[in-house]
Amino acid sequence: MNETLKTIAERFSCRGYTGELLDKEIIEAIGHAGLQAPSTMNLQHWEIIAIQNKELIDEMDEAALEYLKENNNTMYQRILERGGKVFYNSACLFLILTPEDAHANVSMDVGIVSQNITLAAKSLGLGSVIVYMATFPFMHEKGPYFKEKIGWKEGYKFGMGVLVGQAKDTKEPHEIDLEKFRIVE
């Protein structure tokens, strides 16, 4: 099996990190992998912001948890069962933002960017997980403060978040269901 297929096969959704900070070169390499994603008509309707300020991530985590407690008891309970951290003690949060007036296929493009980031992280020996919950700090009353702190541009909206860091534990990737694949000849 080649290295790319091995990376894909071994990647798992990591929900526990050591909190250890990553070198800037690593973050740049992962961010560049995200930027290399293909997009509809090569419009590249995205901006990637890598947040590695651990204090800010922890503050955003608290706001997200408060938001969930007030608005979604089911998700809130699930996060509590997983240790009470929305961002699982991650040292880096990649935010993918898109223009508010972006084309209809932008969700697909954001998915490809997210996947590139997770595969780049895995190839560098890191854990990752794609997290829509990264939008919750910005829905909290402190949302405008967080947007200012990270330089969120006017006219952009949340696309997706990806947590990256040193995995605290490893786990097996999910089982693939071969019933969901077929070849038509």
- What CATH topology corresponds to 3-168? NADH Oxidase (3.40.109)
Q: What is the pLDDT of residues 13-30, one digit of tens each?
A: 999 999 999 999 999 999
How does residue 183 score in pLDDT terms, banded at 50, 70 and 90?
very high
Amino acid identity of 100?
A: E
For residues 95 and 31, the answer to whether their CB atoms sit within 8 Å is no
Tell me which residue of 88, 83, 100, 77 sits closest to 158, measured CA to CA.
Answer: 100
Give this prediction's pTM: 0.93
Q: What is the pLDDT of residues 47-91, one digit of tens each?
A: 999 999 999 999 999 999 999 999 977 899 999 998 899 999 999
In angstroms, the CA 43 to CA 72 distance is 35
Q: What is the pLDDT of residues 92-140, one digit of tens each?
A: 999 999 999 988 889 999 999 999 999 999 999 999 999 999 999 999 9
- Helix ranges restricted to H, the chain: 3-10, 24-35, 54-71, 73-81, 106-123, 136-139, 143-150
